[in-house]
Chain A
Amino acid sequence: MKRRRYIAWIFLAPSLILYLYFFVYPTIEAVRISFYRWSGFTANMEFIGFENFSKLISDDSFLAALKNTLLLLIIGGICIFLLAFIFSLFLGSGIKGKKVYRTIIFFPFIIAPVVHAIYWGLLVYNPRTGMLNQFFKLLHIETLAKFTFTDIRHIFGSVLFVVSWSSVGFYLILLMAGIERIPPYLYEAARIEGATELQMFFNITLPLVKEVLVIAMIFWGINAIKMFDLLYAFGGILPPRSLWTNAIYLYIVGFGKRDPIFQLGYASAIGVVTLLLVVIIAFIIRKLIRREIYEY
């Protein structure tokens, strides 16, 4: 029977309709807003062309936020994927309790950001009573015992650690899903030929896991750039400047919890730039890890 080409459109229709009307159309509106100056409260919108975008370039706060976003993306990504790979190797090597470990490692991912903020802020990183400082005090390492993990200079790194720590489980599951699809006979054959663990990793595991890796990395890329909840919760009353990323800065400029800045046009411009960033990153990731599908 000949395949009717138009059936594909029927399959596509429901999602396309919803997507176009409730997503694409508002997005176009949002992009349109970025060419205006608007407070959101009245109908007066002042057309200013590309002025919002040129303001972005000279805005120190935006540039700092952009830098934080990229740091989060790259360093966070490296930490997470490194750990995820290591753990997937551990768990894949046939040790006992794999499922238990996997579930526990995944657990922080589903905890509300508010809880993370309280736990890490008060119990772990607090200079007086926090676990880390007490630990270093026990070891008599004076400099580290007095180290302020969540001060203006270090809080970003500390929160980056929290982000990695809580996200590893999720990417671990994705990677394991990919790794477990590799037929064991490939490994056996390699072992017979005398390959080491490391060689097997680089020559068998890594290439065959590329699909899942691309999915995982793009997912991380998007989440890192859009990350909001955990960073927003970490300051308690409001997110400290050191934690500002694109997403947080957008919110502060557009809506702001305590600051009536209300510059929706500018916020939309930040959003447009963020979107471009995501598209570029996704593009780069796909190019770097050329997609090859192995059928076996």
Chain B
Amino acid sequence: MRVNKFSFKKLIMHAILVIWCTSIGMLLYFVITSSFKTNKTVFKQLWSLPEKLNLASFANAWSNLDFGRYTFNSVFVVIISVALVIIISAPASYALTRMKMRFANPITFFYLAGMGIPVQLLFIPLFKIMAPLNLINSLSGLIVIYVTLSIPFTVFLLTGFFLSIPSELEDASYIDGCNEFQTFFKIMVPMATPGIVTAAIFNFIGLWNEYMLALIFITGKENKTLSLGLYSLYSSLQYTSDWVSIFAGSVLVIIPTMIIFIVLSEKLISGITLGAIK
């Protein structure tokens, strides 16, 4: 029985998806067009295209507002934090799920409970700990905090992925004479790649937009991150009235996340489907 390619069902699905995506497209349109307008016109014609492309707001954001340096700081902090948190969480997740530890369940729960703690509570106690270690107002300090705060979620995610890897592969590897480290690196990590990529993407997104902790622990202008820069742009509206820079800044902030997402999501999905085919 030949299936008609032009099915009604598919049309409805496309219609709904298109309507939904249009609503998202409007947001994108608004942000991008507003960033090219001037402060005088940005609220006058909310929907119309800018009369001419005013790149001044981007230039202003990049140099006067130091967005160039902030971008470097953010990239540095976030990429290292993401890499580190995966490097230390993956072995932990593996140990908790596949190495038949005695207290695996309580320890796992111990890690996961950390996900529920509101970060604001920790400002003051953390400051007390970090100060004697000279980790205040330094990007390294911020990295330490970011990594630690991301451990619970990453362990949570990775334990899920490690659990679903069939144990025969593991047993086979041990029979072949590999020790624990070799098994981990050669077998488990490749198998868990979709999980690792997922964790990387999600951690990146979460940390990229984080500004509260950066606000508390970073003081010097040279150490500020991008999201913090954007936030201070917003809170200085009262006396600068500079809306277009906020839009320009937001566009600059989104670009890296989009790139990472687009590039890595392919790997994510392809990795998963590859894993399903044995």
Contact = CB atoms under 8 A, between A and B. Distances in A.
In the complex they form, whether A and B have CB atoms below 8 Å apart is answered with yes
Interface of A: 1, 3-5, 7-9, 11-12, 14-16, 18-19, 21-27, 29-30, 33, 40, 87, 90-91, 93, 95, 99, 101-116, 118-119, 122-123, 129, 131, 165, 173-174, 176-177, 180-183, 211-212, 214-215, 218-219, 222, 225-226, 228-229, 233, 246-247, 250-251, 254-255, 264, 267-268, 271, 274-275, 277-279, 282, 293, 295
B21 A104 contact: yes
A215 B21 CA distance: 26
Given A1-B174, A173-B265, A181-B272, A30 B160 contact: no
Given A25-B125, A115-B247, A19 B95 contact: no
Interface string B241-278: 00000110010011001100110011011001101110
Interface of B: 10, 13-14, 16-17, 20-21, 23-28, 30-31, 43, 46-47, 87-89, 91-92, 94-96, 99-102, 107, 111-122, 124-126, 128-129, 144-145, 147-149, 151-153, 155-157, 160, 163-164, 166, 174, 177, 179-181, 184, 194, 198, 205, 208-209, 212, 227, 230-231, 234, 246-247, 250, 253-254, 257-258, 261-262, 265-266, 268-269, 272-273, 275-277
15 contacts: A1-B179, A3-B174, A12-B95, A18-B151, A93-B10, A99-B265, A105-B17, A105-B21, A116-B27, A122-B46, A225-B116, A271-B117, A271-B120, A275-B113, A279-B116
Contacts of A247: 118, 120
Contacts of A102: 265
Given A8-B96, A250-B121, A274-B118, 20 more contacts: A3-B174, A12-B91, A15-B111, A23-B117, A23-B152, A24-B114, A30-B121, A33-B121, A40-B124, A104-B25, A115-B27, A123-B47, A181-B275, A215-B157, A215-B160, A219-B156, A271-B118, A271-B120, A278-B116, A295-B164
Nearest to B170: A3
A7 B121 CA distance: 34
B107 A12 contact: yes
B62 to A, nearest CB: 17
Contacts of A107: 24, 27-28, 258
Nearest to A7: B180
B254 A110 contact: yes
Contact of B118 (A14, A19, A218, A250): A250
Given A108-B27, A271-B117, A176 B269 contact: yes
